[in-house]
Amino acid sequence: MGNQAGGTAISDRHDADVAALRAQYAALPPGTPVRLAKPTTNLFRFRDANAHPGLDVSRFNRVLSVDPATRTAQVGGMTTYEDLADATLEHGLMPHVVPQLKTITLGGAVSGLGIESSSFRNGLPHESVREMEILTGDGRVVVARADNEHAELFAGFPNSYGTLGYSLRLEIDLQPVKPYVRLRHVRFGNARDCAAAIAEICADRSYAGEPVDFIDGTVFSRGAMFLTLGDFVDTAPHTSDYTGQRIYYKSIPFTEVDYLTVRDYLWRWDTDWFWCSKALGVQDPWVRRLWPRKYLRSDVYRRIVAMDRRYGLSRRVETLLHGYPSEPVIQDIEVPVDRLPEFLEFFDKEIGISPVWLCPLQVTDDRPWPLYPLDPKTLYVNVGFWSAVRLGFGEEEGVYNRRIERVVAELGGHKSLYSDSYYPPEEFWRFYNGDAYRRLKRDYDPAGRLPDLYDKCVRGR
């Protein structure tokens, strides 16, 4: 990887793959809606996978090259972060932002947004992209950069969710790593103190005189909130293993200082899908002893949930036992750090899900990203929650998600679109810049071969 002869061979193979994909796309009957045929997904919008022909992009699942000198990598758009991290860690490097789940793809994180504990200093994954090779809705393959004729597509691709095109290759910046990450779990007794600490730590990039390279948080209850502060270290007196019987999030309240290898730190949340494996019984000690270690993975749990959604088994059982079904409340939202206490107060009173995840982020420059506009002068905090709320008498599914959407908007925040959304059209396009989106759709998918963003993310088409 990275030598000239090997690089030429990789380039030739990639060019052949691009030509084959263009031919496949051109062979689809005119007017046929197009979607990707992907073996995995981290979206939580469930639909009939056989509704439209799937475009086979599996050949774009490789790391093409890693250049330690320039700290860059050339990566296929369908490459998972698990494979990407393995390839870059060999060189003592990692992507600037590595989303928490192993099978998130680089192209998916750029077109659908991604976040992690380095986002307070590195922003979102698309901010470290230098260029993108994109198959557009009109069948062209274009190379988009911030400074060329496709600059508007480059800026508008984040948060487009495959409705403008599919990334086939991306050039990304990398950052150096050390072998280990030291973790400090710091407890706060209320949301105001926690939010104030987030703001101070992110501004100083330190806490108690020690550096902070990573920060995220876990809210177990109104009076038990923890910020986990990570920093790179060269040596570790010990390392913990949360890939088997031990469960990472359960260690947080009881471990003041911990050490992980860099790779285990990147995937600390994947083994138990944050805490969502509990709903599948995987955290039961007897079940866990019998569950093969190689299947303690987020993509395995996601397939189980997809199967359950398809057949509605748990919904029927829940209705039989309790009289009412539950509404899935699976969202990531961002609010300005100074509005975080208000959101957590509302969420605790009216939604009642716990734990929830906190992750600060701030965009790294003034470059506009029109479909997900964030103020570069504002520190936001992502709040992630993935569970369900039982519906009461007369309540229709969507009532809790709509309530969250309304409050997030009132607090000057934003909502990620990877799961169910309920916005009416005029509200949706106001939040996600309908004017900019329609210009891009006109220029790169005038026949509407790819789904419309509102249809895909709200109507579920």
In DSSP notation, 306-365 reads HHHHHHTHHHHHHHHHHSS-EEEEEEEEEEEGGGHHHHHHHHHHHT----EEEEEE--SS
Same structural domain for residues 46 and 138?
yes
Q: How many CB atoms lie within 10 A of CB 5?
A: 7
Instruction: Read off φ and ψ for residue 194, nearest 5 degrees.
Output: -65, -45
- Residue 211 makes CB contacts below 8 A (sequence gap 6+) with 205, 231
Same structural domain for residues 25 and 154?
yes
Instruction: Read off φ and ψ for residue 113, nearest 5 degrees.
Output: 75, 155
CATH number of the domain within which 417 lies: 3.30.70
In a domain, 459, yes or no: no
Q: Which amino acid is at 382?
A: N
- Identify the domain boundary among 145, 177, 209: 177
- pLDDT computed for residue 176 by the predictor: 98
The torsion of the CA quartet 238, 240, 241, 245, rounded to 10 degrees, works out to: 120
In a domain, 388, yes or no: yes
Same structural domain for residues 168 and 184?
no
In a domain, 280, yes or no: no
Count of domains in the chain? 3
Same structural domain for residues 259 and 331?
no
- pLDDT computed for residue 86 by the predictor: 98
Same structural domain for residues 186 and 172?
no
Same structural domain for residues 73 and 184?
no
Q: Which amino acid is at 440?
A: L
Closest CA to 384 of 447, 324, 330: 330
- Identify the domain boundary among 209, 233, 268: 268
In a domain, 13, yes or no: yes
Same structural domain for residues 48 and 185?
no
- pLDDT computed for residue 46 by the predictor: 52
- Write out residues in the chain with pLDDT < 70, as ranges: 1-10, 37-53, 312-323
Q: Domain range spanning residue 245?
A: 180-268
- pLDDT computed for residue 48 by the predictor: 54
- Identify the domain boundary among 268, 299, 321: 268
In a domain, 446, yes or no: no
Sign of CA dihedral 19, 21, 27, 32: negative
Same structural domain for residues 214 and 229?
yes
In a domain, 62, yes or no: yes
Same structural domain for residues 167 and 184?
no
- pLDDT computed for residue 11 by the predictor: 83
CATH number of the domain within which 52 lies: 3.30.465.10
- pLDDT computed for residue 38 by the predictor: 65
Same structural domain for residues 69 and 87?
yes
- pLDDT computed for residue 6 by the predictor: 46
What single DSSP character describes residue 246?
Answer: S
What are 60's two structure tokens? 């774009």
Same structural domain for residues 135 and 185?
no
In a domain, 47, yes or no: yes
In a domain, 302, yes or no: no
Same structural domain for residues 144 and 191?
no
What single DSSP character describes residue 220?
Answer: E
- pLDDT computed for residue 51 by the predictor: 53
What are 132's two structure tokens? 């993108």
- pLDDT computed for residue 310 by the predictor: 75
